[in-house]
Amino acid sequence: KAFVTRKIPDVGLQLLRAAGVEVTAHTEKRELAQEELITACLRHDALLSVGGRNKIDAVFLNACSHLKVVSLMSVGYDNVDVVAARELGIPIGHTPGVLSNATADTAFLLMMAVARKAFYLHNTIARGEWGFFEPTRNLGVELNGKTLGVFGLGKIGMALARKCRGAYDMPLIYHNRGRNEAAEQELGARWVPFDELLRESDVLSLHAALTPETKGLFNEAAFGKMKQSSIFINTARGAMHNEQHLLRALQEEQIWGAGLDVTNPEPMDPDNPLLNMPNVAVLPHIGSATVEARNGMAVMAAQNLIAGLKGEPLPFAVKG
Ligand code: 8YV
C-alpha cells in the first residue's frame, strides 16, 4: 500500500497498479499538514512524496519507521533528513536526469527574458502602456560570446552550458567542490574559485543542491563582487539567495538583472518589488514542468517505490 501526496501523471500510477500496489493519492489542492501525512503513512507501507513542502525529517521518519521506502518525485532532497533515514534503514529514492533538459530550458528562458526585459514588457502591454517608440527605449543586452558561470556543474548545469554554447557560443566557467573532468573535456569548462566565478560571470546560474554550505550563499557580499552588467539566474532553490539582498543589488545597480524560478519564500509575495522591475523575470517553480520530464519523474518514482516494497535496492537511490 502506497500513499502519494499529490496528483501525479497517470503513467506513474499505472506502473504502481500493474505491480499490484494499492495506491491512495491525496489529490485535493491543498497542502497536507505534517500530522496528516504521518497519520496517512501509518496506514501505508510506502510513501511517494511530491514537492518539497512536506518535510521528511527525523520526527516524521521516527513516527513512520515502518515505511519500506520513501520515493521522492524530485531530484532535490533537501526536505529529507538523509542521515535519519539511513539510521532507520528507510531507503530514499529520487528522480535525477529526466528533468535536466526541462530545468536547463527554464534557466535559458529566464536568461533570455531578463536580457530582453521580456516579462516586464509583456506586463506593460497588458496595462495598456505600449508606449512611444524611440530607438533608445526598451533596450536589452545580447548574450553572444558572454561568459556563462555555473555554480554546481552537474547534469542540469551541463545541459544549460550546451544550450548556451550552441546558441551563443558562451565560454563556460564553473565552481564545484570537485572538478568536472567531463565538462572540461566536452565544453572546455574552466574551474574557478568561488570569488572568481562571481567576478567573471556575465550570466551566473545556480545548479547546486541546497545544503548548509549553499544556504544564503548568494548574499550582499556575493552580489557586491559581481559585474554591474551581470545576470543572476536561480532555478535551484530559493534559499540559496537572500532575496532582500538581491533586491537591493538590483536597485543599486550592482548587478544588471535576475531570473528566478525559485524564490524565498515560495510562493513569492505578489507585492514583492522584484515583480515590477524591468530586468527581472520570475516563474512559479516550473523548472521540471514539462510533459516529458514529469512523466519521466513519475515513472522513476514508481520504479523506486516498487523496488523498495520488494526489499530490492532502489534503481535511483539518494546516495546522501
Ligand atoms: C519540482 C524540483 O518542481 O526536482 C526538484 O528538485 O524542484 C522540481 O522538479 C518538484 O519538487 C516536483 O516534485
Domain positions in the chain are 2-98+290-309, 100-282
Residue 114: name the closest of 303, 300, 282 by CA: 282
Indicate if ligand 1 lies below 6 Å from the C-beta of 52: yes
Alpha-carbon distance of 4 to 78, in angstroms, equals: 19
Ligand 1 centroid to Cα of residue 94, in Å, is 10
CATH fold of 100-282, please?
A: Rossmann fold (3.40.50)
Report, as residue numbers or ranges, the catalytic residues: 237, 266, 285
Q: Which residues contact 230 (CB under 8 A, 6 or more apart)?
A: 201, 202, 203, 204, 255, 256
Ligand 1 centroid to Cα of residue 8, in Å, is 12
Q: Which residues contact 306 (CB under 8 A, 6 or more apart)?
A: 15, 16, 19, 21
- Output the nine-digit C-alpha cell for 265: 519564500
Q: Which residues contact 73 (CB under 8 A, 6 or more apart)?
A: 8, 12, 48, 49, 50, 51, 95, 297, 298, 300, 301
- Output the nine-digit C-alpha cell for 215: 544556504
Homologous superfamily of 2-98+290-309: NAD(P)-binding Rossmann-like Domain (3.40.50.720)
Say if CB 202 and CB 227 are below 8 A apart: yes
Report which ligand 1 atom has the smallest distance to the Cα of 74: 4
Put simply, whether the predicted model's pTM sits higher than 0.90 gets the answer yes
Neighbours of 281 (CB within 10 A): 28
Say if CB 272 and CB 250 are below 8 A apart: no
Measured in degrees and rounded to the nearest 5, phi and psi for residue 46 equal: -150, 155
Alpha-carbon distance of 283 to 96, in angstroms, equals: 21
According to DSSP, residue 210 is labeled: P
Indicate if ligand 1 lies below 6 Å from the C-beta of 287: yes
Say if CB 92 and CB 77 are below 8 A apart: yes
Q: Do domains 2-98+290-309 and 100-282 have the same CATH topology?
A: yes
DSSP, collapsed to helix, strand or coil, labels residue 69 as strand
Burial class (CB in 10 A: 0-12, 13-18, 19+), 74: buried
Indicate if ligand 1 lies below 6 Å from the C-beta of 51: yes
Q: Ligand 1 pocket check: which of 55, 75, 94 to mutate, most ligand atoms within 8 Å of Cβ?
A: 75
- Atom 13 of ligand 1 has which residue's CA nearest to it? 51
Alpha-carbon distance of 113 to 281, in angstroms, equals: 6
Indicate if ligand 1 lies below 6 Å from the C-beta of 301: no
Indicate if ligand 1 lies below 6 Å from the C-beta of 207: no
- Quick one: pLDDT at residue 319? 85
Ligand 1 centroid to Cα of residue 127, in Å, is 32
Say if CB 108 and CB 129 are below 8 A apart: no
- Atom 2 of ligand 1 has which residue's CA nearest to it? 74
Alpha-carbon distance of 154 to 150, in angstroms, equals: 9
CA 302 to chain centre: 21
Residue numbers in the chain where pLDDT is lower than 70: 320
Say if CB 233 and CB 206 are below 8 A apart: yes
Report which ligand 1 atom has the smallest distance to the Cα of 103: 9
Say if CB 280 and CB 258 are below 8 A apart: yes
Write down the ipTM of this complex: 0.95
**Strands 190-191 and 46-50, bridge-based pairing:** unpaired
Say if CB 125 and CB 156 are below 8 A apart: no
Strand order in the sheet with 23-25: 23-25, 2-4, 46-50, 69-73, 92-93
Measured in degrees and rounded to the nearest 5, phi and psi for residue 24 equal: -115, 125
- Quick one: pLDDT at residue 269? 98
Say if CB 281 and CB 274 are below 8 A apart: no
Alpha-carbon distance of 259 to 56, in angstroms, equals: 29
